[in-house]
Amino acid sequence: MATEAMGFPKSAMRPAASATAAAADAASGADGQHLRVYSIAGEDFVEALAAKAGEDYRYDLVYIDAFDKKGQVPPVLVESGGAFLKSLSKLLAPKATIVLNLLVGLTGSGSSGGPDEIEAMIAAIHESCCDADSSEVFTVRTPIYESSGNQVYGFLCSGRPSGADRSEPLKEALKSSAERLNADFPADSLGQKLRFEFARRVVHAYRDWKPS
């Protein structure tokens, strides 16, 4: 089962016959279940949830990791002014972060598209979900020996948390935060903490992105 292959237990699955039913379940608290999976088209779920959820139902982090059989991001998810991004913007907390995973090679092109297509996707998300003045957008890559070419874009929709020093380059702020996480991460049953250098990964091939 795909859900288990991704590391989710069977118990995470929630019964939902439609996007509307899934949205109603999520908005009502899903019987207190924190980890939950709905086998529903993502764009339909987000649209239904935006219409159903109350003002206090907001996401701090949204991770978009969706590809078709060719490795391309479904256009409906990155359509400028489209229903998905409009609905998503209504569900974001004031200091939300969006992460978009793309399949892009070192040449700047890949299954997810070429430079122009990728630029259009990033611009669409930024325009629909981010504050034009305070937001920050960056991109990093997973080390090539650990993946098949993942380019990850991070959108700090309203910028860094209140009180953060914005004079420090975002790259350095991310690295410092990752170092603290590495140091404080709880050990597993074998007494091991994170078994990789998180700080290096959050800045690998780092680049800031600015709207053109």
Predicted local confidence at residue 69, as pLDDT: 81
Angle between helical axes of 42-52 and 19-27 (0-180°, round to 10): 50
What are the backbone angles phi and psi of residue 113, rounded to the nearest 5°? 130, 180
- Which residue in 150, 149, 121 sits closest to 137, CA to CA? 121
DSSP 186: P
- pLDDT tens string 19-40: 999 999 999 999 999 999 999 9
Predicted local confidence at residue 198, as pLDDT: 83
pTM for the whole thing? 0.90
- Of the listed ranges 99-103, 168-172, 180-184, the least confidently predicted one is 180-184
- pLDDT tens string 53-98: 999 999 999 999 988 888 888 999 999 889 999 999 999 999 999 9
For tokens 């980890």, name the residue.
Answer: 35
Predicted local confidence at residue 107, as pLDDT: 86
Residue 184 and residue 117 in contact, taking contact as beta carbons nearer than 8 Å: no
Q: Per DSSP, which regions of 54-175 are E strands?
A: 59-64, 92-103, 136-141, 150-156
User: What's the CA gap between 48 and 42, in Å, rounded?
Assistant: 10
What are the backbone angles phi and psi of residue 93, rounded to the nearest 5°? -70, 160
Q: How confident is the model at residue 188 (pLDDT cuts 50, 70, 90)?
A: confident
- pLDDT tens string 110-163: 999 999 999 999 999 999 999 999 999 999 998 776 666 889 999 999 999 888
User: What's the CA gap between 86 and 134, in Å, rounded?
Assistant: 19
What are the backbone angles phi and psi of residue 179, rounded to the nearest 5°? -65, -40
User: What's the CA gap between 212 and 205, in Å, rounded?
Assistant: 21
